[in-house]
A and B are shown apart, each in its own frame.
Chain A
Amino acid sequence: MSIANKITRILDYLKRPEKTSHFAKERLQIIIAHERGMRDKPDYLTALQRDLVDVIAKYVAIDKEAVKVDLERKEGFSVLELNVTLPDGL
């Protein structure tokens, strides 16, 4: 083993492991923002979205991520919004 190699190994041994708490914070901020957005939505929304994607996919080749289902509550009524991005050339 070369001297340089030995030195690198000694330095690695002395080096502190990488700090990780900022990963924790970033990951939490992202997932919690997402989950808060889902919080007031009814549970059937995910299932509805899946079914809608399946139906549309029978007719058009769509990207499964290109369908957005959203429920917005307004005073006295709710709006179910369906947003489908169709591929080019149709």
Chain B
Amino acid sequence: MKEQTVTKIIVITSGKGGVGKTTTSASFAVGLASRGFKTAVIDFDIGLRNLDLIMGCERRVVYDFVNVIRGEANLNQALIRDKHIKDLFILPASQTRDKDALTLEGVSTVLDELSKTFDYIVCDSPAGIERGAQLAMYFADSAIVVTNPEVSSVRDSDRMLGLLSSKTRRAEEGREPLTEHLLLTRYSPKRVARGDMLSLSDVNEILAIPLLGVIPESQAVLRASNSGDPVILDKESDAGQAYMDAVGRFLGENIPHRFIEEKGNWLKRLLNFKEKETV
């Protein structure tokens, strides 16, 4: 199952806020760790810590990312072991209002240190294009661009793609560019069918990067954040399954896309059921 040797740094980014970066970071980190990869997930949203809530470890935060950068705590003191999965650790953001708390050297040191023992480092980027977002992407080997099928989100994603191709260490050093993946979230096949929402192929055509997955609009996402258990753990839910598929595809598995067609009405389902029976 596991064959990773060189640490891979993944940034979860979008430009626009509220599209599902933290939800995706949490579920991706759980997905990777549950396949046996030692995974760390870092909250880069300094001043607006939230990954801890989504991961359900908010009451166990003692030290944070900025404490480590400033030498007030060591990395092992700040990393929080996940309550579900043994190979998963969370590095929470600081609640400081100091905008300059994150430094390039500081982030570089922390990532180097983590790279000694971790297989994957998932960087949960803040919204916007300020320092936190720039540092979250700077060292990345892969980027997952989280996009909603909505005009402002698509435009911001395209803007982020521009930054990813120029403002990262790989770009500056002229190395092989990072791999880009599109994750379309809050997708509603029903509204697409009605002509009220950009379709998967519309967004794909506009952004023109490989599709990692489509996460359907789902009641399960809010339920998951209510309880602090990343939605990927809700194996019965459509969104949970969609995240599981996306993680598999990220690891190179060939998994067909689901949840992109409108669910049939009761009559269609009944007919499908009949068909299945006869097969």
Q: List A residues at the B interface (Cβ < 8 Å).
A: 16, 19-22, 24-25, 27-29, 31-32, 35-36, 39-40
Contact = CB atoms under 8 A, between A and B. Distances in A.
Interface residues of B, number: 18
Given A29-B206, A32-B206, A21 B192 contact: yes
Contacts of B205: 25
A35 B194 contact: no
B158 A35 contact: yes
Given A27-B151, A28-B155, A28-B206, A22 B162 contact: no
Which of B150, B197, B198 is the most central at the interface, judged by chain A CB atoms within 10 Å of its CB? B198
B113 interface: no
A28 B159 CA distance: 12
B172 interface: no
A35 B197 contact: no
A20 B162 contact: no
B195 A20 contact: yes
Contacts of A36: 158, 162
Interface of B: 150-151, 154-155, 158-159, 162, 166, 192, 194-199, 202, 205-206
A7 to B, nearest CB: 25
Which of A19, A25, A35, A40 is the most central at the interface, judged by chain B CB atoms within 10 Å of its CB? A25
A28 B197 contact: no
A7 B152 CA distance: 39
A1 to B, nearest CB: 31
Given A28-B206, A31-B155, A35-B158, A19 B198 contact: no
B206 A22 contact: no
A24 B151 contact: yes
A19 B202 contact: no
A21 B197 contact: yes
Contact of B202 (A16, A21, A39, A40): A21
The 10 closest A-B CB pairs, nearest first, are: A19-B195, A39-B162, A25-B202, A32-B158, A24-B151, A21-B195, A24-B198, A28-B206, A21-B198, A28-B154
B104 to A, nearest CB: 21
Contacts of A21: 192, 195-199, 202
Contact of B194 (A19, A27, A29): A19
